[in-house]
Amino acid sequence: MDDMSSGDPIALFQDWLAEATAAEPNDPTAMCLATIDAAGRPSARMVLLKGVDLRGFAFYTNLDSRKGLEIAANPFAALCFHWKSLRRQVRVEGPVETVGDDEADRYFATRGRVSRLGAWASLQSRPLDSRATLEARLADMEARFDGQDVPRPPNWSGFRVIPQAIEFWNDGAHRLHDRIVFHRKGGGWETGRLYP
């Protein structure tokens, strides 16, 4: 895994993601997103990575969801990718920014129609008395947007985690794992190795 210390963690992540896409049977872009509320209490959930580039790691959600409200209160997050079939893990930590409206609109337009309607129908993270209520809200949105394009709701957008640290973990025999960590330093990255 000496190639891991080559200096570009985004390129390395993209290589690992391509390998995971070929090897993982389900959701190679699944990542655990950890956020912290205003009182300092953490929460974690699985979300899907929808873009990665030099700016960071992007995902999309309802801004009024629990994660959206926690990011608004404390705009820092941690991500963890675990590719069991490859016996690899990547951890990312850093501040969070909201993606631009144009970027959010472009991604929203790629979603299936029912998913776009669902973004309007769901009061994400709020109590729901029954499945029938959600289905009725979806039917209302189908009627509202009948014959029309479904625009992005105003409370739905994306977030980007701007990596300040990225750690690559590769399973090793006898629990002697290989770990390389990249820390952002100025315009570049400082690389180090960690004990397993």
Ranking 2-11, 111-120, 139-148 by mean pLDDT, the lowest is 2-11
Spatial separation of the C-alpha atoms in residues 158 and 100, rounded to whole Å: 8
pLDDT at residue 51 in the model: 97
pLDDT at residue 151 in the model: 98
pLDDT at residue 196 in the model: 94
Question: Over 90: is that where the pLDDT of 4 sits?
Answer: no
Q: Average pLDDT over the chain, rounded to whole?
A: 95
Active site residue 113: no
Per DSSP bridges, beta strands 188-194 and 178-185 are antiparallel
Nearest by Cα to 77 from 115, 117, 47: 47
Quick one: average pLDDT of 12-36?
96
pLDDT at residue 172 in the model: 87
DSSP string, 55-120: TEEEEEEETTSHHHHHHHHS-EEEEEEEEGGGTEEEEEEEEEEEPPHHHHHHHHHHS-HHHHHHHH
Whether 49 contacts 5, CB under 8 Å: no
Spatial separation of the C-alpha atoms in residues 77 and 36, rounded to whole Å: 7
Bridge partners (DSSP) of residue 36 are 42
Convert the pLDDT of each residue in 79-131 to its tens digit.
999 999 999 999 999 999 999 999 999 999 999 999 999 999 999 999 999 99
Higher pLDDT, 1 or 42: 42
pLDDT at residue 124 in the model: 94
Question: Over 90: is that where the pLDDT of 74 sits?
Answer: yes
Spatial separation of the C-alpha atoms in residues 103 and 60, rounded to whole Å: 11
Distances (CA, A) of 180 to 30, 66, 165: 21, 32, 11
2-194: CATH homologous superfamily? Electron Transport, Fmn-binding Protein; Chain A (2.30.110.10)
Share of the chain above pLDDT 90, in %: 92
pTM: 0.93
CB-based burial, 48-80: b 16+ in 10 Å, e otherwise: ebbbbeeebbbbbbbbebbbbbbbeebbbbbbb
- At 175, is the pLDDT very low, low, confident or very high (cuts 50, 70, 90)? confident
Spatial separation of the C-alpha atoms in residues 19 and 24, rounded to whole Å: 8
Catalytic residue among 87, 106, 113, 175: 175
Please provide the size of the chain in residues. 196
- At 173, is the pLDDT very low, low, confident or very high (cuts 50, 70, 90)? confident
